Amino acid sequence: MLTNIDVTLRDGGYRNNFSFPRDYALAHAELSVKAGLEWVEIAYRKGSFKPVPGIGPTGRGDDEYIRAVAEVVGPERVGMILHPKNIDRDDLGQMYEAGARLVRICVNAADMADGLETVRTAKALGFTVAVNFTRVTQQDRRTLVHAAAEAAEYGTDVVYLADSNGSLTPDETRRLVTSVGHVVPCAIGLHPHNNLGLALANSIAAVEAGATWIDSSVLGMGKGPGNLPTEQWLAYLTRRDPGAAYDLGSALGLAELLAGRVAESAPELPLPDLLLGWFDLAVEHRARLGNQDIVDQFAAAAALAQVVSAA
């Protein structure tokens, strides 16, 4: 049994400074649920990892916005994501009261103290809790597996593996999910990025290896070249199982609506983002490739990758 999360309003926010119009955000959530997605991740709580000037509502995740979405789709469909360093002691309770029921906590496998305390608090409040291990391709595998086991001990419902750099291949995805599956009793999820055009293949590999939670975004709208396209994922799932409880027509209608309302949603795979995926570099490294031609950017990425791997 799969659990699917739509992350367009949050991850797609990197394309438009998290400034989706309110009426669109509400319609998006409603159509995502109609398409059969179990959760809609509607916002960051108090910002991304790094401050973003003038960040819009899906980057703030204010209580009033949470409440408005929950009134449309019900609290049992509303998810939020956060970095523990951005919140204070009252935020989780306020989010729950406003109508969020899923919280995803971003952590680094090598430094989990704040994340685990946040897990403990969220579980006590009644949230479904996911720990999102970011940039898994840059984590030491043994450290990551140990951290996943520790997160599970704290009561985490889902251990999420985020391919933040879009660098995983299907074989690597399969091995990673299998390794984590050996040590956790909870569910495993994949957050795929599409730098190498492998988001769909990696998601299929993850499910075959035992993952049961998968992220996607409409038109693939997300940071860098984006995520697994929701409409593509649902098309695959319904081809695999014609009886699956998904409404591809609603998903396609949502894709058309997004394309018409949000210009930044247009699918793209810029060549520099492909380089970032190939060299396992973060989207923040893109500016350091310069504005020269792609061959020179390739050389710059190769040199930068050596520096990053040696750090």
What CATH number corresponds to the domain at position 191?
3.20.20.70
pLDDT at position 45 is 98
> What does the block give as tokens for 219?
């038109």
- Does residue 260 share a domain with residue 219? yes
What's the CA gap between 245 and 37, in Å, rounded?
9
Task: For residue range 143-157, list pLDDT tens digits in order.
Answer: 999 999 999 999 999
- pLDDT over 90 (residue 206): yes
pLDDT at position 54 is 93
- pLDDT over 90 (residue 38): yes
Which of 265, 286, 302 delimits the end of a domain? 265
Whole-Å CA distances, 66 to 96, 100, 265: 9, 7, 22
pLDDT at position 120 is 96
- pLDDT over 80 (residue 39): yes
Q: How confident is the model at residue 187 (pLDDT cuts 50, 70, 90)?
A: very high
- pLDDT over 90 (residue 41): yes
- Does residue 291 share a domain with residue 220? no
- Does residue 229 share a domain with residue 113? yes
Number of compact structural domains in the chain = 2
Other CB atoms within a 10 A radius of the CB of residue 30 amount to: 17
- Does residue 295 share a domain with residue 153? no
Which of 265, 280, 302 delimits the end of a domain? 265
- pLDDT over 80 (residue 311): no
- Does residue 91 share a domain with residue 56? yes
Task: For residue range 73-113, list pLDDT tens digits in order.
Answer: 999 999 999 999 999 989 999 999 999 999 999 999 988 98
DSSP-based three-state secondary structure for 245: coil
Average pLDDT over residues 185-195: 97
- Does residue 287 share a domain with residue 217? no
CB-based burial, 226-262: b 16+ in 10 Å, e otherwise: bbbbbbbbbbebbeeeeeeebbbebbbebbebbeeeb
Task: For residue range 6-26, list pLDDT tens digits in order.
Answer: 999 999 999 999 999 999 999
- Does residue 286 share a domain with residue 255? no
Whole-Å CA distances, 207 to 8, 181, 237, 280: 21, 12, 11, 23
- Does residue 210 share a domain with residue 100? yes
Mean pLDDT of the chain: 95
- pLDDT over 90 (residue 290): no
**What is the residue range of 284's domain?**
271-310
- Does residue 44 share a domain with residue 122? yes
DSSP-based three-state secondary structure for 81: strand
Q: How confident is the model at residue 283 (pLDDT cuts 50, 70, 90)?
A: confident
pLDDT at position 310 is 80
- pLDDT over 90 (residue 52): no
pLDDT at position 115 is 94
- pLDDT over 90 (residue 56): yes
Q: How confident is the model at residue 185 (pLDDT cuts 50, 70, 90)?
A: very high
Q: How confident is the model at residue 253 (pLDDT cuts 50, 70, 90)?
A: very high
- Does residue 163 share a domain with residue 25? yes
pLDDT at position 284 is 87
What's the CA gap between 140 and 27, in Å, rounded?
41
- Does residue 257 share a domain with residue 179? yes
Q: How confident is the model at residue 49 (pLDDT cuts 50, 70, 90)?
A: confident
- Does residue 259 share a domain with residue 285? no
pLDDT at position 229 is 97
- pLDDT over 80 (residue 122): yes
Per cent of the chain over pLDDT 70 is 100
What's the CA gap between 133 and 190, in Å, rounded?
10
pLDDT at position 51 is 83
Nearest CA among 166, 50, 56, 66 for reference residue 106: 50
- pLDDT over 90 (residue 268): no
What's the CA gap between 196 and 199, in Å, rounded?
8
pLDDT at position 64 is 98
